[in-house]
Amino acid sequence: MTESTIRPIVEAFYKASAARDIETALSFIADYVDWLVQGPVDLFAFLGQRRGKAAVREGYGEIARKLQITGYEIKTLLVGYSADVEIVLETKPDVLRIPTQALLEGNRLLVQRPDGKIEERTITPGLSNWQFTEVVSGLSANEKFVVSLERTGVKAGARVKSDKAAPGKGK
C-alpha cells in the first residue's frame, strides 16, 4: 500500500476521532487490536496498552471525559515514526480457521492421522491475517493439526506426542 492509498483511510480515522464519532473511528480498527498509546498512565488513564476493540472504546470514552480534542492534521510522517496498520476489508464469522503460524510454505499443514502419525496436507486457504487463516478445504473441524512446528522431530511420518495442558488451563 502506498501513501496515496492509505492516506484517505488514515485521514478518515482521524477525522472521525476529532469529531468524537467513536463508532466510525472504531470501524477502522480490527476486533483483536493491540493498541498502545505511550505516556504517563498514572496521569492520563486513557494512555497505555489496550487489547480488543471494547478496550479501545473504553479508552476513547476516557479521552472524551478528560480532553477536548480540537482536531487532527496529518502533514507528513516523520522519519523514525512507524505505524502498523491492518485494514479489514472483509470478515467471515463461523468458519473453520487455524492459527496462521501452523501453516507451512505452500499452504501445507501437518495433520494428525487416526493412527497417531503426522501427515502433510495442502489446504485451500480463505481469508487470512497475521493471527488466523480460514480453511476453505483440506481440513475438517474435528481433525487435529500441529501448531508447534519449531519442535525437533516435527515432520510428516512422525508419531504425535500431545502436550498435556496444566489443570485449569484448557484441554
DSSP assignment of 3-32:
HHHHHHHHHHHHHHHHTT-HHHHHTTS-TT
The answer on 159 and 100 residing in a single domain is: yes
- The pLDDT score that the predictor gives to residue 164 is 55
The answer on 62 and 96 residing in a single domain is: no
- The pLDDT score that the predictor gives to residue 101 is 92
CB 126 within 8 A of CB 168: no
Distance of CA 151 to CAs 104, 158, 159, Å?
A: 14, 12, 13
The answer on 161 and 97 residing in a single domain is: yes
For residue 61, the surrounding DSSP H or E stretch is helix 53-66
Is 12 contained in some domain?
yes
Measure the CA–CA gap between 69 and 87, rounded to whole angstroms. 25
The answer on 96 and 40 residing in a single domain is: no
The answer on 47 and 108 residing in a single domain is: no
Please, how many CA atoms are within 13 Å of residue 32, restricted to the half-sphere of its CB? 7
The answer on 95 and 62 residing in a single domain is: no
Count of domains observed in the chain:
2
Is 19 contained in some domain?
yes
- What digits encode the pLDDT tens for the residues 105-136? 999 999 999 999 999 999 999 988 878 899 99
- Cell 480453511 -> residue: 135
Is 121 contained in some domain?
yes
* 151 closest CA partner among 160, 143, 164: 160
CB 96 within 8 A of CB 134: yes
Is 42 contained in some domain?
yes
Cell of 150: 519449531
- The pLDDT score that the predictor gives to residue 170 is 40
Is 34 contained in some domain?
yes
Q: Identify the three-state secondary structure at position 156.
A: coil
CB 55 within 8 A of CB 35: yes
**Domain span at residue 54?**
3-66
CB 41 within 8 A of CB 48: yes
Instruction: State which residues of the chain have pLDDT below 50.
Output: 165-171
